[in-house]
Structure 1
Amino acid sequence: MSHLPEVISPEKWIVHLFSAKSVAEGGTVRRKVSDVERLVGRERFLHEVLRRGFRVVENAGQFIIFCNREPVHVLA
């Protein structure tokens, strides 16, 4: 993703995140939990993920978004 300005509206951040090439290809994207909470808030972020039918997991201060509607299986 390209560099973001110091100040960005939550709406623009959401558009920027979900316009990533990996999102369009059904891949994954990762974002720091602290950045998400600071820029858009956890509730708004989760709403946007679910609205698109995607899945998200949280681990070690990161959100990993699976940008497709396939099930996610934790294997080990």
Structure 2
Amino acid sequence: MNLRTFLNSMKPAEQAEFARRCDTSIAYLRKAISSRQPLRVALCVDIERESGRLVTRQELRADWARLWPELISANADASLA
């Protein structure tokens, strides 16, 4: 699931709480989504964790394989299933 869809599935108060748990703001997340700005590496990890892996690092960063090479085999295994 992409971040926009995930956020849109929540009420505004839930979005704000999610952003707070990720140590950011909903305004920053919305701006980053609309401008296609790459999110900070640590923020991607926080989003993945706080979303319960509904939004993954692979979905958040096009360069995920360079940043997290340990996920390459996990991603390949998932695509074979």
Greater helix fraction, Structure 1 or Structure 2: 2
> TM-score if structure 1 supplies the norm length?
0.34
Greater strand fraction, Structure 1 or Structure 2: 1
Relative contact order: is structure 1 or structure 2 higher (C-alpha 8 Å, sep ≥ 6)? 1
> TM-score if structure 2 supplies the norm length?
0.33
